[in-house]
Structure 1
Amino acid sequence: MVFVVGLMFHGTAPFASLFVALHHNTTLPEHAESTSEQAVHHDDRYSYGAKDFSCIFFYTLICVIIHAVIQEYLLDKVNRKLHLSKINHRKFNESGQLLIFYVVSALWGGNIIMKEKLIPGISHLWEGYPTHHAAMTFTYKFFFVSQVAYYLHQFPELYFQKVKREDLMNKITVSLVSLFLVVGAYLLCFTRVALCLLVPHYAVECVFHVARILHFAEQHKAARYAFGAWDVLFVAIRLLTVVLSVLTFWYGLALAPNQGIDIVRGNFNTPLIRLNTLLVVCLLQAWLMWNFFTFHLKRMRERAAVQAATTAKRRQTEKKSKKDHENGKRTSDDDVSELPEADQYSKKEPALRQRPTARVK
């Protein structure tokens, strides 16, 4: 979302010069003229610094505005047509907002990966660290700035959306973890590996929220297939994340010649930082897998309970129907037996008349 707004302003000279001022351009020559065209040249590289706070604050406000626009002019109109319940209405809005963010981020990040040639050359994830990792292109840096801004904007949205107290801690935890990981990768100059881990994760989340929206739209067959695809892809991406993290932090960066902390150059390649970063990533994947299995076990128990209740109710209904039938027959026989003998014979006489008589040869 922020990417579209940024590109709208990117062509204007005031915005371009402001972006360079806040993003610490590192490649402008000493005698270059301060024109907007040179400032935003595609070969320019940017580092991070204290002035990024102003830019992040600006894009956080942009995210809040775009969130409100999408809610009012897109999601609310779709909700009126679907006639969802209050709980499903809230879930639909959440999935709609996240789907747009994940689609834009996955496409944008995938475009950066192709331009930086990180695939198929996986060695680019650690080669050239920290020189080529600390200096980022315009769209590269803009991607991480917008990511930080988006996760920051989720905190005021908790108030605007009037999130229930029982859901508050879960949403705050997810936002804090995402913000911590993106900011950590940004500050430690691990943006390449972070980009290659975020894009597959966002792509899988797109499938999940598409499945939820199809479920709310009562497209149950398509939603079932989408949920099945998400189950497989979710586990596969968790394994891919662990493999890429181990290759980068345990093998690749360990072979780099520059070992030590140099804040000026953006070098944080030490065994302690690498080990802690790898541990954080692996613990996060374990936490996601735990939630994944817990969610599916809970659904299996709910389905088993519903099926057991349905079976018990059907058996109870059949038993009651059989019992009522037997009681009705017994009541009819009792009523006949209580009649006088002549009346009993008159009641039984039609049945006796219907009995077949033996033929006389």
Structure 2
Amino acid sequence: MGIRKKNKNPPILSHDFVIQNHADIVSCIALLFVLGLLFEVTSHMAGLFITVQHNVTISTNGEFYEGGEELAVNYFHHGPKDMATVFFYMLIAIIFHAVIQECLLDKINRKMHLSKIKHTKFDESGQLSAFYLLSCGWGTSILLSENLLSSPVNLWEGYPHTLMPFQIKFFYIWQLAYWLHALPELYFQKTKNEDIPRQLVYIGLYIVHIAGAYILNLNRLGLVLMVLHYFVELLFHVSRLIYFSNENRQSGFTVWAVLFVIGRLLTLSLSVLTVGFGLAGAERQGPDLTTGNFNAPLIRVTVLAGICVTQAFMVWKFINFQLRRWRESQQQLRKAAPSKSRTRRDRGGANGINGTLANGPDSPRTRKEKSS
């Protein structure tokens, strides 16, 4: 994310005007949807964007009705109307992004006086730290309330998990909305051209994996893997924020490196256990779009291959990061070594000069020897 330079009076509807006032513009658009709820003519259309869609009501006798009034337990499934809901909460994510940037990160940057490169990385880590912290806390509370951590069997038992509680449904809506909001933020934050490919790669990976788990009804496995991954990433970005405040504090990166390896092993283990063994041994085999069953060998292999390739890519990036840190530390040691040697030579030269002056022709010792 680049540094935004604010002009005092940019031309209306120009690029600088849109970038400088994009939070206000997006707020007005979101407010239009909220105001639509106040009028009967537009309330149904506005509710399509604001409220969670595709609800299913299950009565006490086990029969379920969609949109029924006799409520017993409300569940939700995915559908095409979710795209409208994701769009609205993408606008909310843009507003939150601007609030965190202007009310918190910009004030800290003014006090720290960071360089342009560190400024960009500090803003990126600050935004992602806030998001990862919220997602970890929210996801962990869902795992505990739904009792998904009591046994690994819960990850695949009863598949397909087409019916989701409100918290899981809304959690996935928010995840998709946040990572989709990162695409227009590349323009709003004036991201440098050389940084755009890197940003697009990891944004695309998040969207593909989250949407894949949501559409394929692997929402339980996806929730566990997201919480695990977000916790490790939260530690990394918090460590980077601490490093920018004081470059001598790098112990957080060591802890992150250990947890990164553990996180990758747990991700692969849970994925293979759920998709490779749990779903492979399930009674309901074969794809069935009407029931939302995607338990087929080809789909299972594709899912496992995608997870393995992504984990291998992350490990490759991790190794490059550690090698870069090692090279930087070696360069610092090499720069420190000549300075120490020059200091020793300077001290030795000074001692030699003092010795020459002490034993020179005009020294007291020489005059004493001449007189004798």
Same-fold status (TM-score > 0.5): yes
Task: Report what 2:53 is aligned to.
Answer: 23
1:186-209 superposed Cα distances (whole Å, 9 cap, x missing partner): 111111111111101111111111
Question: Does 2:351 match 1:351?
Answer: no
C-alpha contact (below 8 Å) 2:57/2:65 kept by paired residues: no
Q: Pick from 260, 269, 272 the counterpart of residue 234 of structure 1.
A: 260
Cα deviation, residue 220, structure 1: 3.6
1:251-309 superposed Cα distances (whole Å, 9 cap, x missing partner): 10001111111112111001111111111111111111111111111111221122123
Q: Which amino acid aligns with 1:233?
A: L
1:10-65 superposed Cα distances (whole Å, 9 cap, x missing partner): xx997996479762112265597659xx5xx7x21111111111111111111111
Q: Which amino acid aligns with 1:156?
A: P
1:84-143 superposed Cα distances (whole Å, 9 cap, x missing partner): 22222211111111011001111111111112211121101111011xx11111111111
Identity %: 42
* SS of equivalent to 1:45: strand
Distance in 2, matches of 1:181 and 1:258, equals 24
Cα deviation, residue 330, structure 1: 7.5
C-alpha contact (below 8 Å) 2:48/2:85 kept by paired residues: no
C-alpha contact (below 8 Å) 1:125/1:192 kept by paired residues: yes
* SS of equivalent to 2:294: strand
C-alpha contact (below 8 Å) 1:214/1:220 kept by paired residues: no
Task: Report what 1:148 is aligned to.
Answer: 176
Question: Does 2:239 match 1:211?
Answer: yes
Distance in 1, matches of 2:325 and 2:66, equals 66
Question: Does 2:149 match 1:119?
Answer: yes
Q: Which amino acid aligns with 2:332?
A: V
* SS of equivalent to 1:268: coil
Task: Report what 2:289 is aligned to.
Answer: 263
C-alpha contact (below 8 Å) 1:22/1:54 kept by paired residues: no
C-alpha contact (below 8 Å) 2:55/2:67 kept by paired residues: no
Task: Report what 1:187 is aligned to.
Answer: 215
5+ unaligned residues in a row in structure 1: which ranges?
337-343
Question: Does 2:251 match 1:225?
Answer: yes
* SS of equivalent to 1:227: helix
Task: Report what 1:310 is aligned to.
Answer: 336
Cα deviation, residue 67, structure 1: 0.5
CA-based RMSD: 3.2
1:58-207 correspondence runs (5 A): 58-130=88-160, 133-207=161-235
* SS of equivalent to 2:243: helix
Cα deviation, residue 82, structure 1: 2.2
5+ unaligned residues in a row in structure 2: which ranges?
1-29, 59-63
Distance in 2, matches of 1:249 and 1:95, equals 33
Distance in 1, matches of 2:346 and 2:109, equals 43
TM-score norm. by structure 2 comes to 0.79
Q: Which amino acid aligns with 1:169?
A: P
Q: Which amino acid aligns with 2:206?
A: S
**Taking structure 1 as reference, are residues 272 and 44 closer, same or farther at Cα in structure 2, changes over 3 Å only?**
same
Distance in 1, matches of 2:50 and 2:113, equals 47
Q: Pick from 48, 68, 83 the counterpart of residue 53 of structure 1.
A: 83
Task: Report what 1:340 is aligned to.
Answer: none
* SS of equivalent to 2:74: coil
TM-score norm. by structure 1 comes to 0.81
Task: Report what 2:279 is aligned to.
Answer: 253
Distance in 2, matches of 1:259 and 1:84, equals 57
Distance in 2, matches of 1:218 and 1:49, equals 48
Cα deviation, residue 216, structure 1: 1.8
- Report the number of matched residues: 328
Distance in 2, matches of 1:90 and 1:166, equals 13
Distance in 2, matches of 1:243 and 1:32, equals 39
Structure 1's consecutive aligned runs of 4 or more residues displaced over 4 angstroms after TM superposition are: 12-22, 28-35, 320-333, 353-358
Distance in 2, matches of 1:21 and 1:290, equals 41
Please state which structure has a larger fraction of its residues in helix. 1
Q: Which amino acid aligns with 1:23?
A: Q
* SS of equivalent to 1:301: helix
Which structure would you say has the larger Rg? 1
Question: Does 2:312 match 1:286?
Answer: yes
Q: Which amino acid aligns with 2:177?
A: A
Q: Which amino acid aligns with 1:351?
A: R
